[in-house]
Amino acid sequence: MTLKHSISKKWQRVTESRYTIAFVVISIIQAITLITLQIRILSRNTNIFLSILDQEECSLASQIFACLMFESIMFVVFNLYLLYFCLNAIFHQNFVQLYTIIVINGIEVILGIIQMIGVKINVTKIESNCPNIQIDYTIKSYELPHIIALAIIAITLGALFFGKLSQQLDWDIYKKIGGDIEVRKRYKTILIFEMLLKIDLFFVILYGSITAPLVFYDFVTSYDQYNTGFKVFVFVCLSILILVFFFQALAYKSIRKEWKVGMIIFIIFWIFALLDFCYLTIDFGILMIKLGIYSWAILLCILIICAILTFIYAIIVTRNFNKGLKKYLNKKKKTEQKESNILPDNDDNIKDVQDIEDGSGAKAHSENEYNDPADILAKEEC
């Protein structure tokens, strides 16, 4: 597939209906708005950090605000990846991924509230331990607008998804897979697994781009202080994080080809990756809680949950091989337009989308849900 053809198909997905267009536009607005507000918070924390950096009588203050700066950078990376997650869901019509985005938006609202509470608790702690330091952090001008924006966008995207967009995407899955309930369930299992892989990759990127450089710097500067066993352990942990990229690529390839050996190799590797994630969660989670960065500790716990679910769904997906899905996942070029995830640009599909938008398609879909798949296909042939 050429780059031009790939871009054309993605654009067709975005412009498929006014609901997909609205979802993409709101997702872009979400990223721009939330990143801008987080940069404001980061700028405030940086200014406070620089103003108290030279005050040796209270090193706690500079340590806390250094971590708060780290937290703001984490949120910026989080929102950049969330934008990719939203666009990717539309490009590939991943119904499960879109549903997860709504959940993630709700979690981000909670994390925003925790961020605000954490700032207040930490400033109180600093002023209690260091009476000579007075910090003007003005939550109402920084954290509060961020939380309000989070809530408004989360509600808007939720209303859009649970309105017509979910019906449209569910109908698209029906058109691609057909009416076989078991095949549809197996297909949605693959969508869940692929969505979990993307979430796992986000945490690896987040750790690799923000935390790993600091750990590596500390490890290099204090290299002689560590014993050989610990050095090997750190090297293995970092190697596993890097290998996640390669083994995830193996998992995607194995799904398309229904290659059990590849999935078994991935599952074995994922056991070690899960142990690595657990170590990072315990090690850095405790440290972040001590420093008052509660949002990072919560994200690490979510990482463990997603990693465990990835392991479980990898096994389920592997057990579903050779049960009728391969013909939908591994299409030949000559049937690409007919069976592709991207809806062909013809009158029938345009009519289907219009039916969804005016409600008639949703009604037809609802009726189909209660009919036998064979009856549905027979009616379509007539």
**pLDDT tier at 376 (50, 70, 90 boundaries)?**
very low
Residue 330: the pLDDT is 61
Residue 1: the pLDDT is 57
Q: Is 222 strand, coil or helix?
A: coil
How large is the average pLDDT for residues 285-305?
81
**pLDDT tier at 364 (50, 70, 90 boundaries)?**
very low
pLDDT (tens digit per residue) in 35-79: 999 999 999 888 888 877 776 667 767 777 888 888 888 899 899
**pLDDT tier at 345 (50, 70, 90 boundaries)?**
very low
Residue 29: the pLDDT is 94
Q: Is 270 strand, coil or helix?
A: helix
HSE, CB side, 13 Å, CA atoms: give it for residue 129: 13
What proportion of the chain, given as a percentage, has pLDDT over 90?
27
Residue 16: the pLDDT is 85
> Against a cut of 0.85, is the pTM above it?
no
Residue 193: the pLDDT is 93
Indicate the range of 82-91, 124-133, 286-295, 365-374 predicted with least confidence. 365-374
Which residue in the block uniquely carries the two structure tokens 């989308």?
353
Which residue in the block uniquely carries the two structure tokens 């899960």?
274
**Residue 353 pLDDT exceeds 90:** no
**pLDDT tier at 347 (50, 70, 90 boundaries)?**
very low
